[in-house]
Amino acid sequence: MGRRVDRYPVQGRNSMQHWPKLRGFWRVIFNFAVIQVGRFIPWLGVKGWLYSRLLGVQVGRDASIGLMVMLDIFFPEYITIGEDSIIGYNTTILCHEFLPREYRVGQVHIGKGVLVGANCTVLPGVAIGDGSIVAAGSVVNTDIPPGVVAGGVPARVIKGLEEDSHV
């Protein structure tokens, strides 16, 4: 489908200079602190509880968020991670992006039974369909349909999972 983001033009300084208008200072500090603690917690249940209860991330049952995963510090509540999904080591999930003359905000939906490999970046406004696999090191800048293997920079569908019975 593409990306579903709300665009906010700015004038004068670049959009990152306007971040205090995006979210309150103390809220960003709180979100950052919780995310930093969560990045190092190896207990998946505790990490899921921390993110869902304190930040509003929708974390499905038996979802696993790996070590060093960096969630969006401005809008973590815009992130949904489906049941039984795995978010690999050092992945970044963003719900905002700053450009010179505008900033953008969008939700990220990761479906059920999804594997997002290590060191991926998921950009705002995208959805990863149920049962898909995103290869390590990929940049997800558009929707990934259900039941496929995708990878690359930017991530593109490589094949359907039904093509390989070993996956």
Closest Cα to residue 71, out of 108, 112, 117, 125? 108
Report the Cα 20 to chain-centroid distance in Å.
22
Cross-strand partners of 80: 58, 109
Query: Is-catalytic flag, 109?
Result: no
- Active-site annotation holder among 18, 96, 109, 166: 96
Quote the CA–CA distance of 62 and 50 in Å, as a whole number: 14
Pairing between β-strand 115-116 and β-strand 108-110 as defined by DSSP bridges:
unpaired
As given in the structure block, the two tokens for residue 46 are 């505790």
Helix, strand or coil, per DSSP, at residue 41: coil
Name the burial class of residue 1, with classes exposed (0-12), middle (13-18) and buried (19+) by CB atoms within 10 angstroms of its CB: exposed
- Would you state the structure tokens that stand for residue 7, as one six-digit string? 């665009």
Enzyme catalytic residues: 96
